[in-house]
Structure 1
Amino acid sequence: MIIQSQSIRLGITTTEDRAGNATWEFHVDRDGTHHGLSDEQCQLAFPKLFVELDKSAGQRREKKGTPIRYEEIAGPLDDAMVRGVIYEGDLYILDVQGMKATFSRARATLSSLHRALQAFPGRRALPNIEFILTTEDFVQRTNEPVWAYSKRAVDEDKDAVWLMPDFGYWAWPEVQIGPYEAARQRIAAVDAEVPFAEKKKQLVWRGSLAPSPELRGRLLRAARGTSWASIRVLDWEDADDVRLNLLPIEDHCRYMFLAHTEGRSFSGRGKYLLNCRSVMVSHRLEWREAHHAALVASGPEANFVEVERDWSDLERKIEYLIDHPDVAEKIADNAIRTFRDRYLTPAAESCYWRHLIRQYASVCDFEPELYTSSEGRKQLRGIPFETWILS
């Protein structure tokens, strides 16, 4: 019999046998980049990570009452969609549509999925599935099961949207952020260099207003003329403006407070901010991401600060944190323990991908076909990922 024992303060998770002997524990320095953790290790290390996937599978069973049929995903794809198959632990690409602005997202997302498969010793035993994913900011239609980077809480009855990790877990070149693990290392180096008490006591934000003019415009107005804010609008179409005002993601961590805003839907910046030993300050979120079940807004385990969606209480909360640095530092430490050292590790991402495969498969009633037959000859339906990524 295995008994779970958790030590949140130390950032580890252990399992014990009947005699109380520890059999395994999660250490971020050793396991944080381990993409092939076992199923049991994944569950023990990241108990809050799979909430959205378990919810999607449960909703399909309870509300639809029937499993996913092949006909639901067999129709033509919208722009920015990918159709793929996982067969005996290998990834095949069947179709890619559009991608004028999001092809790098497709390559990054599928590379992460492929890595999660290849690193797993038991990948041949994973269920075979056929799936559709979108590389858009959100799902344009919800009449078919689709894997997506985010979904709104108000869409909870739309069980068709299955959350997946976003493209930034591989790399995000469009905003000059390289590989995810390299960004984490740069962030950790800044935090090692600058003690929390010596960080700039300001709320920092750099970005474009275009994805959400009203929401982000209110942030600017709430911070205008204050001494506690360092807010700059970026014009990504102006090379000189980017050169002068872009703040490397790791340099955000030199500030004590980090503003997080949604865009067209989710904002990929959030996971980088939560890697900093700083206080992420976010308006009430409408869009969910895979790691959001681990966010805690209040109480002794709070790991970020939540303000009203119109930022009306921003000044009051920032001034309180400036006046109570011990409170701010505890929130920052909680964020490190929860996110940088656990739920936003590369190991957690790969665990998430495999749980997505299993839960999605658990509510499908069809076995995908890898080959078609024509005149007695078998033909591969898709392209192996290793070939597709080079095409």
Structure 2
Amino acid sequence: MKRSNPAADEEEMATMVPPSPPAGADIVVDDPAVEHQRSSSLTTKPCWKTTTSGGVGVLLGTILFLALLVRTQWNHLDVDYYSFLRGTGTGSVSRRGRAPSRTRSSTAPLVPIPFSCGANVTSGLSLCSLRGAASAPAPSPSLSSSSSSSSAQKHYSPGVPPPWCPDYFRHIHTDLEPWRATGITQHALARARRHAMFRLVVVSGRAYVQKYRRPSYQTRDIFTQWGILQLLARYPGRVPDVEIMFATGDVIEVRASDYRADPSAAPPLFRYCKDVTQEVAVLWPDWSFWGWPEINVRPWAPLMKEFVRENERLRWADREPYAFWKGNTVKLPVREDLYRCNNDSAAGKEWNARLIKHHWSSVSGVSQSEMKETNILDQCRYRYKIYVGGRAWSVSEKYILACDSPMLALDTNYKDFFSRGLVAGKHYWPIDHGSKCPAIKLAVDWGNAHPEEAQRMGREGSGFVREEMDMEYVYEYMLHVLTEYAALLRYKPTVPSNGVELCPESIACPRSDLEREFMMESREKYVAEREPCTLPPPFTADEVREMALREADVRSKLLQMEGH
């Protein structure tokens, strides 16, 4: 076997992780709002021509000119470097290096979203009729009354369009591409019924559901529907009339190969994940963003705050210098195989991995005693986290990324709505299944020897889920998906004769214990006060090719480091 050169390895890996910008330097944010401000500043009269003291004015003008020159040079380098790591190329439509911070855009009063179980909390279905149209929240004063959410002409403030959405939003176009030319007919949607767990219809801002014979695993369907109701409450009057079929399972439902001759004949089906190499599906945020009571995982927004506090409490250098994974392996061959990489001191094998099997006592979830063992924050005690799929993908990926520890991700073709935006070598370290044990050992050894680069990758991953995947972006993704999807419908959805109306009260009020607690934690209390981010255009063929080439380059460098 060819031995790797340590010096060469260090040089190769240095190109995988983005460098920290020099002190005082700005990261380029190619954003319409920023571009507006930048163009305005360029038309402002130069200060060195308006000074009252010649010497001081010349000096200030020179300093300002040099500062702008340095900034321009750094920005140019930053665009090239970061675009290479993102795998989108310098000609990409990527609008920013990091999502802009979210702050209130106006002083307009917040519009509360009404919610009340009343005296009767057991007959939830009747609560929707009591709610009535009159109690629906009004649009925020800062929002346009238009129902179109994807137009760049909607403003955060006068004259400034909303910022671009994160790049992973561009995959919305990819998901809907099979029906772009022909549209979606009612007949095509009916063909999706045999794959779906439920059918959901939105008409005039009200939701109706028809459940089919296939049972949903745990409360996936309930919390998914709860999330859709929060979207309707957050954007009153903005969600178009729409009809969707939703599958809550993990494995492939609609194979692209079955519709190769006519992709538009594929039934449109909403799912949490898909095999991007052989499946047709429209991806949707999974149920756990609003809570996973069966294993005591809180909703994403409050849980993310806990991750931030835990990362500040336990610094990376003080964590255990190993790669960690904990989870269920029953009837999951890919996880059983991973378990071979566990430390085996008796056999003299040290793969730098600490793997723990944790089997649920029942399919309904964990017991009270098991809940004490499943504190999701405990995983942050380790410098590295391993991500491995289950039957398909795993909702654990966002929690693994949130730890500020580099994610060592075992290769999988299954992706969810946001993981298509993750970049190998920047947000995570890819691990090939064929050599997983030595690959994990290499990643840990290299990271421990290069802590600055390892911590940078960990921060990139956690920064992605914290800043580009906060709940505001999750709802905006949902809104854009439904808006683009509704535009393809070739019929007008109507209230189903055998459907049941849903409202927040009808779902939450009859629930008990942890389920209701999580719903209250994830309930939207105010109407959105700003326009949603602007949906970027689809990826071009050149951009797709560039992304593939750049990921292949990262993997090639890793193979060289492994001595292949």
State the TM bucket, normalised to the shorter chain. 0.7 to 0.9
Aligned partner letter, 2:480:
H
C-alpha separation in 2, matches of 1:242 and 1:220 = 24
* Aligned: 1:27 with 2:101: yes
Picking from 354, 361, 375, the partner of 1:230 is 354
Deviation at 1:20, TM superposition (A): 4.5
Find the structure with the greater CA-based Rg.
2
Change (3 A) 1:322 1:30: farther
Picking from 183, 187, 202, the partner of 1:71 is 187
Picking from 309, 312, 319, the partner of 2:433 is 309
Larger RCO (CA within 8 A; separation ≥ 6): 2
Partner of residue 384, structure 1 = 502
Give the fraction of aligned pairs with identical amino acids, expressed as a percent.
19
Aligned partner letter, 1:383:
E
Change (3 A) 1:43 1:363: farther
Change (3 A) 1:319 1:147: same
Partner of residue 150, structure 1 = 273
Partner of residue 319, structure 1 = 445
Deviation at 1:221, TM superposition (A): 1.0
Structure 1 residues 193-230: Cα deviation after superposition (integer angstroms, max 9, x where no partner): 011211211111111112522x1122211233227322
Structure with greater helix share of residues: 2
Partner of residue 352, structure 1 = 477
Structure with greater strand share of residues: 1
C-alpha separation in 2, matches of 1:146 and 1:359 = 14
Partner of residue 247, structure 2 = 134
The normalised TM-score by structure 2 is: 0.58
Partner of residue 189, structure 1 = 309
Deviation at 1:350, TM superposition (A): 0.3
Structure 1 residues 287-319: Cα deviation after superposition (integer angstroms, max 9, x where no partner): 011002321112xxx011111023142212221
Change (3 A) 1:76 1:247: closer
Deviation at 1:127, TM superposition (A): 2.3
Root-mean-square deviation (CA), in Å? 3.3
Deviation at 1:177, TM superposition (A): 0.8
**Which secondary structure state, in structure 2, belongs to the residue aligned with residue 49 of structure 1?**
helix
Partner of residue 59, structure 2 = none
Structure 1 residues 107-129: Cα deviation after superposition (integer angstroms, max 9, x where no partner): 11111122122112xx4243211
**Which secondary structure state, in structure 2, belongs to the residue aligned with residue 27 of structure 1?**
coil
C-alpha separation in 1, matches of 2:194 and 2:234 = 31
Flag structure 2 segments of 5+ consecutive residues without an equivalent: 1-24, 43-98, 106-112, 114-139, 144-148, 256-265, 345-349, 511-564
The normalised TM-score by structure 1 is: 0.81
**Which secondary structure state, in structure 1, belongs to the residue aligned with residue 384 of structure 2?**
strand
Change (3 A) 1:284 1:371: closer
Aligned partner letter, 1:199:
R
Deviation at 1:188, TM superposition (A): 1.2
- 1:140-219 alignment runs, 5 A limit: 140-141=253-254, 143-155=266-278, 158-159=279-280, 161-210=281-330, 212-213=332-333, 215-219=334-338
- Is the 2:191–2:267 contact (alpha carbons within 8 Å) kept by the matching residues of 1? no
**Which secondary structure state, in structure 1, belongs to the residue aligned with residue 40 of structure 2?**
coil
Off by >4 Å, runs of 4+ in structure 1: 7-14, 28-31, 35-43, 238-242
Partner of residue 265, structure 1 = 392
- 1:241-256 alignment runs, 5 A limit: 243=370, 246-256=373-383
**Which secondary structure state, in structure 2, belongs to the residue aligned with residue 285 of structure 1?**
coil
Structure 1 residues 86-105: Cα deviation after superposition (integer angstroms, max 9, x where no partner): 12233221334432533x11
Number of matched pairs? 359
C-alpha separation in 2, matches of 1:308 and 1:242 = 36
- Is the 2:409–2:428 contact (alpha carbons within 8 Å) kept by the matching residues of 1? yes
Partner of residue 4, structure 1 = none
Picking from 460, 465, 472, the partner of 1:334 is 460
